[in-house]
Structure 1
Amino acid sequence: MADDDVKFEFLPSLPKDNLDDRTFEDLVAECILRIPRYCPEWTDYNPTDPGITLIELFSWLTDQMLLRFNKVPRRNYITFLELLGIRLQPPASAITELTFYITEPDNFPYRIPANTEVGTERTANEEAIIFSTDRDLLIGKPSIRYFLSARTSEESPRVLRDTVTHQWTRQDNGEWGGSEQTLFDEQPEPGNSFYLVCEPDQPLDGNVLTITFSGLAATPTGIDPDQPPRSWEAWDGQKWQPVLLKEADDLTKGFSFNRLREAGDNPIQAADIVLHLPLSWPVTVFTGYEGRWLRCRFTEPEAGQPGYVNSPRITSLKVNAVGGTVSASHSRVVREELLGNSEGIPGQTFQLANAPILKRRDDEYIIITPLGGIPQNWQEVQDFADSNPEDRHYTIDSLTGKIQFGPLIQEPSRLVKATQDRAGVTPLPVLGNYPIERANTADGPNERQYGSIPPRGAQIRMRQYRSGGGREGNVERQTLTVLKSAIPYITRVVNYQPARGGADAESLQQAVLRVPKMLRTRDRAVTREDFETLTLDAARGSIAQALCIPPTSSGEAGTVTILVVPAANTEEIEQANGLAPEKFELGTELEERIRNYLDERKLLGVQVRLRSASYVGASVQTQIGLEPFYNNSQAQEILRRQLEVILYRFLNPITGGMEGKGWPFGRPVYVSDIIALIQKVPGVRYIGPVLLYEINSTQQGWQRNPEPVPMIDPGDRGLICSWKDRRLRSGHVINFL
Structure 2
Amino acid sequence: MNHPVLDPRGPEEIRAQVAALARSYTPEWRYESTEDDPGAALAELFCTMFCQTVDRMNAVPQKLYTEFLNQIGYQEPGPVAAQGNMQFMPNESVEQPVLVRSGTQVFTSDASGSNVVYETRRSIEATPARLTDVYYVDAQSDSLQRVDLSRPWPLFAPGGQEMQVHEFYLSENDVLRLEGPCTIQVELRQNVRYLELETANLLTAPGLRWSYFHGGAWLPFDGVRAENGRILLEKRTGLSLEPDQDGRICIRCQGCTPMALTLQQAAVCSAPLGEVPAARLFSGDVPLEEEGGYCFGKRPALYDLFYLRSDAVLTKRGARAQLHLELEPIVFDPPSQGPNYQFTQPIIDKRRAVLAKPDDVRVSGVVWEYYNGMGWRQLQTQGSRNPFSCRQEGPYDLIFQVPQDIQPAEVNAEEGYYIRARVTDVENSFSLYQRWIVPLCKGAWFQWQYPAPAPVAWIASANNGTRREIGQAAGLGDLQMTVLEPLAPGPAAMYFCFDRSPHAMPLSIWLQMLGRAELKGQLLWERWNGKTFEPVRAVDETEQLLHSGCIYLFLTEPVPRASLFGVEGCWLRLTCTGPRPVPPPVAARVQLNVVPAVQCRQEPDQRFDTGIYEAGKTVQLLTAPVQRCTVWVDELQGLSAAEAGRMAREAPDRVRLEQQDHVLTRCWVRWEEIPDLALADGGDRVYTLDPYQGTIRFGDGRQGRVPPAGDHNILVTYASGGGAQGNVPPGAVHSVLEGLPRISAVQNLTAMSGGIGRLTMEQIESRGSRHLRTRGRAAAGRDFEDLVRQGFPQVQHVRCFAGRDPQGKPRAGHVTVVLTGFSQAAEDNEALCRQVYSYLGSRCSCCLVAEGRLHVHPATVLRVNTQVTVELERMEQAADTQQEIGRRLQQLIGQVWSARPVGGQIRMDELWSCVRSVPNVRAVRSLLAEGAYDRQGQACLAPLEKDGGFPYAVVESGVHVVRIQ
Match of 2:788 among 535, 542, 565: 535
Q: Is the 8 A contact 1:366 1:379 kept in 2?
A: no
CA-CA distance at 1:491 after TM superposition: 2.9
Tell whether 2:958 aligns with 1:733. no
2:278 match: none
| Letter paired with 1:539 | F
Tell whether 2:595 aligns with 1:326. yes
CA-CA distance at 1:345 after TM superposition: 1.1
1:97 match: 85
**Superposed, which structure 2 residues align to 1:279-294 within 5 Å?**
285-286=577-578
1:365 match: 631
CA-CA distance at 1:602 after TM superposition: 2.6
Supply the distance in 1 between the matched residues of 2:585 and 2:770 (Cα, whole angstroms). 50
Tell whether 2:822 aligns with 1:567. yes
Q: Secondary structure of 2:102's match? A: coil
Tell whether 2:701 aligns with 1:701. no
Tell whether 2:842 aligns with 1:600. yes
Match of 2:949 among 709, 715, 721: 715
Call closer, same or farther: CA 1:610–1:668 in 2, change over 3 Å.
same
| Letter paired with 1:195 | M
Q: Is the 8 A contact 1:206 1:326 kept in 2?
A: yes
**Superposed, which structure 2 residues align to 1:393-412 within 5 Å?**
393-407=686-700
**Superposed, which structure 2 residues align to 1:55-134 within 5 Å?**
72-102=60-90, 111-120=99-108, 125-134=112-121
Match of 1:661 among 882, 896, 899: 899
Supply the distance in 2 between the matched residues of 1:132 and 1:531 (Cα, whole angstroms). 33
**Superposed, which structure 2 residues align to 1:307-706 within 5 Å?**
323-358=592-627, 364-368=630-634, 372-407=665-700, 449-550=702-803, 560-568=815-823, 583-584=825-826, 587-607=829-849, 608-622=854-868, 631=877, 640=883, 643-651=885-893, 655-657=895-897, 661-662=899-900, 664-666=902-904, 668-670=906-908, 672-678=909-915, 686=922, 688-695=924-931, 701-704=938-941
* Aligned-CA RMSD value: 5.8
CA-CA distance at 1:90 after TM superposition: 3.7
Between stretches 695-704 and 483-492, larger displacement belongs to 695-704
| Letter paired with 1:151 | S
Query: Structure 2 regions of 5+ residues with no counterpart?
Result: 7-13, 15-22, 31-42, 144-153, 158-163, 165-255, 261-460, 467-483, 512-525, 529-539, 551-562, 638-664
Supply the distance in 1 between the matched residues of 2:58 and 2:869 (Cα, whole angstroms). 56
| Structure 1 residues 37-84: Cα deviation after superposition (integer angstroms, max 9, x where no partner) | xxxxxxxxx96798xx9xxx9xx9999999988994544443333333
Call closer, same or farther: CA 1:352–1:609 in 2, change over 3 Å.
same
**Structure number, greater radius of gyration:** 2
Supply the distance in 2 between the matched residues of 1:138 and 1:90 (Cα, whole angstroms). 33
Call closer, same or farther: CA 1:687–1:494 in 2, change over 3 Å.
farther
Q: Is the 8 A contact 1:140 1:203 kept in 2?
A: no
Tell whether 2:509 aligns with 1:207. yes
Call closer, same or farther: CA 1:491–1:713 in 2, change over 3 Å.
same
Supply the distance in 2 between the matched residues of 1:241 and 1:667 (Cα, whole angstroms). 27
Q: Secondary structure of 1:673's match? A: helix
CA-CA distance at 1:543 after TM superposition: 3.8
Call closer, same or farther: CA 1:511–1:205 in 2, change over 3 Å.
farther
Q: Secondary structure of 1:693's match? A: strand
Supply the distance in 2 between the matched residues of 1:186 and 1:370 (Cα, whole angstroms). 76
Call closer, same or farther: CA 1:722–1:548 in 2, change over 3 Å.
same
| Letter paired with 2:687 | Y
Between stretches 492-501 and 713-722, larger displacement belongs to 713-722
Q: Is the 8 A contact 2:545 2:585 kept in 1?
A: no
CA-CA distance at 1:401 after TM superposition: 1.0
Task: Give aligned pairs, total.
Answer: 527
Supply the distance in 2 between the matched residues of 1:120 and 1:70 (Cα, whole angstroms). 44
| Structure 1 residues 128-160: Cα deviation after superposition (integer angstroms, max 9, x where no partner) | 32222233346699999x986442999889xxx
Call closer, same or farther: CA 1:121–1:526 in 2, change over 3 Å.
same
Q: Secondary structure of 2:602's match? A: strand
% identical aligned pairs: 20
Call closer, same or farther: CA 1:650–1:63 in 2, change over 3 Å.
closer
Q: Secondary structure of 1:151's match? A: coil
TM-score, with normalisation over the residues of structure 2?
A: 0.45
Call closer, same or farther: CA 1:339–1:114 in 2, change over 3 Å.
farther
CA-CA distance at 1:99 after TM superposition: 1.8
TM-score, with normalisation over the residues of structure 1?
A: 0.57
| Structure 1 residues 198-222: Cα deviation after superposition (integer angstroms, max 9, x where no partner) | 99x986574269x999xxxxxxxxx
| Structure 1 residues 473-506: Cα deviation after superposition (integer angstroms, max 9, x where no partner) | 2211111111112234433221121122222311
Supply the distance in 2 between the matched residues of 1:207 and 1:526 (Cα, whole angstroms). 40
Q: Secondary structure of 2:603's match? A: strand
| Letter paired with 2:960 | H
CA-CA distance at 1:120 after TM superposition: 1.9
Supply the distance in 2 between the matched residues of 1:336 and 1:90 (Cα, whole angstroms). 21
Q: Is the 8 A contact 1:623 1:690 kept in 2?
A: yes
Supply the distance in 1 between the matched residues of 2:892 and 2:821 (Cα, whole angstroms). 17
Supply the distance in 1 between the matched residues of 2:867 and 2:621 (Cα, whole angstroms). 56
Match of 1:182 among 460, 464, 486: 464
Between stretches 334-343 and 472-481, larger displacement belongs to 334-343
Q: Is the 8 A contact 2:142 2:486 kept in 1?
A: no
| Letter paired with 1:531 | F
Q: Secondary structure of 1:375's match? A: strand
CA-CA distance at 1:354 after TM superposition: 1.1
1:195 match: 494
Supply the distance in 2 between the matched residues of 1:567 and 1:48 (Cα, whole angstroms). 60
Q: Secondary structure of 1:120's match? A: strand
CA-CA distance at 1:181 after TM superposition: 4.8
1:436 match: none
Tell whether 2:141 aligns with 1:151. yes
CA-CA distance at 1:665 after TM superposition: 0.9
Call closer, same or farther: CA 1:453–1:631 in 2, change over 3 Å.
same
Supply the distance in 2 between the matched residues of 1:518 and 1:243 (Cα, whole angstroms). 33
Q: Secondary structure of 2:87's match? A: strand
CA-CA distance at 1:620 after TM superposition: 1.6
Q: Secondary structure of 2:689's match? A: strand
CA-CA distance at 1:673 after TM superposition: 0.8
